[in-house]
Structure formats: structure tokens, C-alpha cells
Structure 1
Amino acid sequence: MRMVFMGGHKLGKDTLQYLIDKRKDIIAVVTNIENDWYTGVDEVAEKNGLLLYKNVDVNSESFINEITALKPDLIVVVNFQQILKEQLINIPQRGCINTHAALLPKYRGRAPLNWAVIHGERQVGVTVHYIEKGIDTGDIIIQKSIDIGDEEYIDSVLEKVKDVYPTVVNNAVNLIQSGDFVRIKQDLSKGNYFGKRTPEDGQINWNNNTKDIFNLIRAISKPYPGAFSFCNNSRLIIWRAEVINQKEEESLLPNGYIITINKSGICVKTKNDNILITEYDMIDKTQIIENGQILKFKETKNV
């Protein structure tokens, strides 16, 4: 079965290499290199002597003509940054498939793993589905669920997902080649679409529920830009934190108030417990305390 692979990032790189190792017939590779985050797919393609398209508009007339001439049976998409339009989708006889880091129909759209951790999910997953006009709405071919801990950070979640991607995609290709599977139509009423996140979405509202603040910190920690707040107008980026019990006398303090600063970290009063910030970055750490006084974090808007 002749396949065109479209992808980016380490997820795309590892998956492409796995498909090659499994002797899949990859006739062309397409990748967009926006920054270092998306590199790697091109290296695998070049190392294996595959026809490579870099930074092309896949919906342009010229590209569609080239792909049509290649006569692919299937287009496989893994972490690709362009939306395929109908003319391109209709080229391969066996369709186009996409790999999405969520248990569809939940968390359609952008940053599904981040959103899942923000919402305190205990299970994430990987879905391979057919591409159609809608975003992540096509019939499901295969899914793999992944359990995560309620204190697990996004870097660990990414590692778990990264390990699953290549095998799930390969299994989906095998199913399509055999024809021995049932397409599962998505019930979109059981899921939601989430849009693109930006670094500024990580600003903490200290009036939110303590667990929600902790989940935000977990969800956008490294390798993402990190949750942040302001102390005396200096940005504090929070990489790691813990939820700790709140003493009765602390409950009267305003949310976002710095209770203590010591070797354990920065203890901040929140709505129903406290947050202990254990790993952080700040341009000027002297701004946390001024004239020996404990400062309050700047109040912020909701994420």
C-alpha cells in the first residue's frame, strides 16, 4: 500500500522511522519546519532516501498535482501543522488518516494533552481517525488509552504518549490494509473542541480553586512556557508545585498572598488550600520580598 507521510515534531519523526522499520511503502514525506520543535521528520526522510517536500502549501494546485501523479493509496498524518482540504483528502483511494493525542471525541482541536491535564483527567490517549472536512471529527479506526496520575506533569504525559504513537499508527495502517475493522462514527455531543493556547493563557488567577491552579501548573510546565504570576510587577514562572493543607488562621488571608518563603519553596494562600511553589524562575528574585514585608501576588484574569 503506497503511502504519503505528512508530519512534524519528534512524534512524527519516531512514527515515520517506525513505519520504515516495519517496511511500509512510504513514497513521499511532507513536513513543515516552523522552529526546532517541529524538526526531525526531514532528517529521517533524507537518511532513508525518500522523496521529501519541505514547507509547501499542501492545498496548492501545484502540490495537489504532484501528489495525484504519485498515486498514493493512503495519506498518513502525524502532528502536521496544516489542515488538509477536500481536494487533497479525496486523492488517495483509501483516504487520509490523522493521529490525535486524545480519546476522541473528547478534546478535538489544539493542545489536547494540555487541556486534558488542565481539566484533571486521569486518562488520556491516542486516536487514529479518518480526515474529513471537520477538525478531528472523522470516523475512528483505532484508539489506545493511557492512564496518568493526578499529580503527573505534562513532560511525563508526553513521554507516555510518545511511546504509543508509532505502534498505534502502524496498527491502524495494518487494519486499513487488511480491511478487517469497523469504522466508528464519533458522537460529537460527547466531546468538545478546544482552540490554540498561547503563552499568555498561563497567567494564574489565584481566586480559582486550588486544584485547578495546580492542574494548570502541571499542564503547561516544561517543555511548555509555564504557568506564571506577578510579584511586585516581576514575572514569576512556576514549574513545579504542591498542594498543601491550609491552617485555619491562613484562611482569612487574601488569595494569592505569600505566606512563607523558605528552603521548601514559596507558600501561597489559595481558595481552599495552599500552593507550595517548589521550582520557579524569576528575573529578579529580590522582588519577592521588599523591605522585609510579605507581598501579595498581582490579581489576574481567568485563563
Structure 2
Amino acid sequence: MIAAPKAVVFAYHNVGARCLRVLLAHGVDVALVVTHEDNPAENIWFERVADLARDYDIPVAMPEDPNRAEFVARLQALRPDFFFSFYYRQMLQPALLAIPARGGYNMHGSLLPKYRGRVPVNWALIHGERETGATLHRMVEKPDAGEIVAQQAVPILPDDTAGEVFAKVTLAAELALDQVLPALLAGSAAHVPADLAAGSYFGGRKAEDGRIDWSQPAAVVHNLIRAVAPPYPGAFFVLGGQRIVITRSLSRAGGSEAPGHPELYTEGGRLFARCGDGGVLHILSLEVDGEAVAPAALPARLGQNPVPLV
């Protein structure tokens, strides 16, 4: 009887949980799940991989740094065939990548080589992309640069938020892995070199990066709002000493009045924002200092209508 392929799985977040389920469904022997301690300062809105692993009686490790010599030795002793990394947040260094007999593979939340690096879904929305997806690729020392084994595209609709697109990317990751895994385990999966010159690399983002510049075109502001909408920290501005977070907007055809004079105004019981190019956004929801406020009530709360934004 042929032994099942053995894997060590580095995983976190919803993509980690769904892809771990795929490996188990295909009979992969998961010898260890390596995941992260949750950050108490972070909004944990996603599934915990550690809980899923324990449901399946899979040992769990949460090293502060998996690249330390003692942890490397622990994984060497397991003699795995594969490493899989699914939304694990630390880079695996060459000493780790040399361990699995049949290589290490990472699932990335973009259509590589585009949007290599951190938070690819958020960056794709910021740049107004109409498509993204998930890519399974071989891990090499350079981030998101190894041969591509599988990809699955998903659409980005004009008013989709990052949370909605992330849900699509999670499904795309599951589909891509499920479809290619039999060939990968059999040793027959195609490995296509990534053309890095055709792609891009982006770093992480901070909450402060969500500050709205209303002098920007409406499309730019709208893309920022949806790219960092809850469960992410949100797009915000400060007015009258109050922090106002716009949690959802819709792009509105037309506008083009008074370019260069951004303002908030009510019309027909709804709140609108005119941006720097004269383009208009319909503000669907917002928070003031952490409290949900009806959008149309904001001008009265601020004591003026319209509300100048610069």
C-alpha cells in the first residue's frame, strides 16, 4: 500500500482553513499545522486555523519565528513530502524551504505576477481592478516569485468591498487547489515560470493609509473606501475634531459640477460627496467616532449643509 503524501501546512485566516480542508479531502497526511497566535489588537473576523486543526486531531505549532534553528530541526525530523503555505504571514527562509522532499507551495491572493507582496486584495481594489483571483505557486526565497502551478480568476464588481472580494478569493483558492492537487500529488502538474517583469510588488498597509483626500477624483476616493471597508479599519477623515469613517459608498454617474470644491451635501434624504474632479459618491453608511450615524443626519450634526471638505 502506497503511503499518503505527508505535508506540513503553514496557514492562517479563511484561505488557510479552506485550503487545509482541501488537503484533508484529498487524503494528504497533514503531520503538523503551523499557524499564528491571534493579535489582540486585530479584528479577528475570520476562521481560526488552529481550531480547525484541533477538530481533526492535527498537532498545532505557533512559533514566533518558524525559521529558528530548533524549529527547523523539528520539521526536518518529520520528513515531509510537501510544505503548503496558505495565508501564513511570515516568509519561509531557505533552510526551511529545503526540507520538503517534493517542494513547498504557497497560495497567494492575486493573479500572479500582479500584486505580489502584502494585502493583494486591498491593493487590487485601490487600483480599480476588475479582476483578481488566487494563485498556487512554488515557494522560493524571493516572495511570490516561484513557478505558477494553478490560478483561478474572480471578477471585481464596481462597488464590491474588500471583504466581498476576499470571500471570492477564498473560494478561488479552494477551487484552484482542489483542481490541481491530484496532479501535484502525482508529480504531473505543470510548473510555469512567473514573468516578474509583467507584475508588481506591494507592501503592507496601515490604518492611517485609509485617510481620505477629498481633492482626489471620485473614482479614487470610492476605490479607497471599498478597499478598506469593514472588516478592515475603514476610510476616514477628520472634521470638527470628529473622526468620520465612510464604511460604504456607491459611485454615481454624472457629477462634474464645481470641480475643485469637495463637499458633503444632502439631497432627497440621502448623503452625497462631491470630490475634487466634481464626481459624486452616494454615501451609504458611516461612523462618527465609532458610532454608526445615519448618513443624511451628518450635515446637521456638523452644523452646516453643504459641508466643505477642504
TM-score by length of 1: 0.90
Q: What is the correspondence of 1:108-119 to structure 2 with a 5 Å cutoff?
A: 108-119=116-127
Whether 1:195 and 2:203 are equivalent positions in the alignment is yes
- Residue 144 of structure 1 contacts residue 168 of structure 1 at CA under 8 Å; is this kept in 2? yes
SS at match of 1:67: helix
Paired AA for residue 275 in structure 1: L
> Secondary structure at 2:221's aligned position in 1?
helix
> Is 1:221 matched up with 2:229?
yes
Give the equivalent residue in structure 1 for 2:264: 258
What residue ranges of structure 1 are gaps of 5+ in the alignment? none
Residue in structure 2 matched with residue 279 of structure 1 by the alignment: 285
Could you say what the CA RMSD is over the residues aligned between the two structures, in angstroms?
2.1
Q: Which residue of the partner structure matches residue 144 of structure 1? A: 152
1:20 maps onto 2:40 in alignment: no
The 5 Å alignment of 1:172-187 reads: 172-187=180-195
Q: Quick one: which amino acid aligns to residue 63 of structure 1?
A: F
Q: How far apart are residue 209 of structure 1 and its match?
A: 1.7
CA shift in 2, pair 1:180/1:218, >3 Å: same
Counterpart residue type for residue 66 of structure 2: V
Alpha-carbon distance between aligned partners in 2 of 1:137 and 1:255, rounded to the nearest angstrom: 44
Secondary structure at 2:258's aligned position in 1?
helix
Q: 1:241 to 1:38 in 2, by over 3 A?
A: closer
Counterpart of 2:130 in structure 1 is 122
Separation in structure 2 between the aligned mates of residue 292 and residue 56 of structure 1, nearest angstrom: 51
Sort the Cα spacing of 1:293 and 1:241 in 2 relative to 1 into closer, same or farther, 3 A.
closer
Q: Does 1:77 align with 2:81?
A: no
Match of 2:110 in 1: 102
Identity %: 29
1:11-70 deviation per Cα after TM superposition (whole angstroms, max 9, x unaligned): 211221232233221111111123335662111211111122123421011111110010
In the other structure, the counterpart of 2:139 is 131
Matched positions, count: 296
Ranges in structure 2 where 5+ consecutive residues have no aligned partner: none
**Contact map agreement 1:96 1:130 (CA 8 A) in 2:** yes
Runs of 4+ deviating beyond 6 Å: 284-287
Describe the superposition over 1:102-150 as per-residue Cα deviations: whole angstroms up to 9, x where unpaired: 0000000001011111111111010000111111111111111112212
For 1:294 and 1:164, the matched residues in 2 are separated by 43
Whole-Å Cα distance in 1 between the matches of residues 46 and 251 of structure 2? 34
User: In 2, are the aligned partners of 1:256 and 1:269 still within 8 Å (CA)?
Assistant: yes
Bigger mean CA deviation after superposition, 186-195 or 278-287: 278-287
In 2: Cα distance, 1:37 partner to 1:291 partner: 36
Once the two structures are TM-superposed, the CA of residue 214 in structure 1 deviates from its matched residue by: 0.9
1:64-121 per-residue CA deviation (whole Å, 9 max, x = no partner) reads 1110010001000001011100000001111111000100000000010111111111
In structure 2, the residue matched to 1:87 is 95
- C-alpha separation in 2, matches of 1:24 and 1:135: 25
CA distance in 1, matches of 2:109, 2:21: 19
Q: Which moved more, 1:121-130 or 1:143-152?
A: 143-152
> Is this contact kept in 2: 1:206–1:271, CA < 8 A?
no
Residue of structure 2 in register with 1:295 after alignment:
307
Do the aligned partners of 2:107 and 2:137 also contact (CA within 8 Å) in 1? yes
TM-score of the two chains, using structure 2 as the length reference: 0.88
The answer to whether the 8 A contact 2:273-2:283 is kept is: yes
